[in-house]
Amino acid sequence: MPAPAPLFGPRSLGDFQIVREIGRGGMGVVYEAVQTTLNRRVALKVLGPGLGLTPKAVDRFRREAPGVEFVEPHGAFYFFFRVDGIREKDPVTGSSFCEQLMKQEGVALVPGGAFADDRWVRLSYAVSDAELERALDKIFGLIHRLASARAA
């Protein structure tokens, strides 16, 4: 599978400003980048074609969780989404969302506290489309239950 071509033109992906390419392999390219909201240097891996989150999964996320912000993956290995807006009363934190999702659905996400902003969670994935769809079913189930609790 070919690795992505070098970046030309705008040198940013979502919240990440690309500094330089630091490595290239069979699955993709690794860049040194700055995460602008946290002002920190990171290594950002951009996967080759066919290895990122599918457009179908991105569309589903928009459809099933319209009030939840997320960073479009653009082939990224990580998918970030914001959970503090799911409920207005008693806001959800990334840590509490991840804990509930693990207990109720057996799906592990990384809470935002791990990257200094507990309003967000991170889905790391390297699975088949079918496995990713099953995980998304469970994530959206919890989002819908939490949103329903907001209305009650």
Range scoring the smallest mean pLDDT among 91-95, 96-100, 125-129: 125-129
Class of the CATH domain delimited by 55-151: alpha beta
Tell me, yes or no, if the pTM score tops 0.85. no
Range scoring the smallest mean pLDDT among 45-54, 103-112, 128-137: 45-54
Q: Quick check: 124 pLDDT over 50?
A: yes
**Amino acid symbol at 11:** R
What are the b/e assignments for 72-94, b being 16+ CB within 10 Å? ebebbbbbbbbbbebeeeeebbb
Residue given tokens 């993956």 in the structure block: 73
- In 36-135, DSSP assigns E strands to 40-47, 78-82, 110-111, 120-124
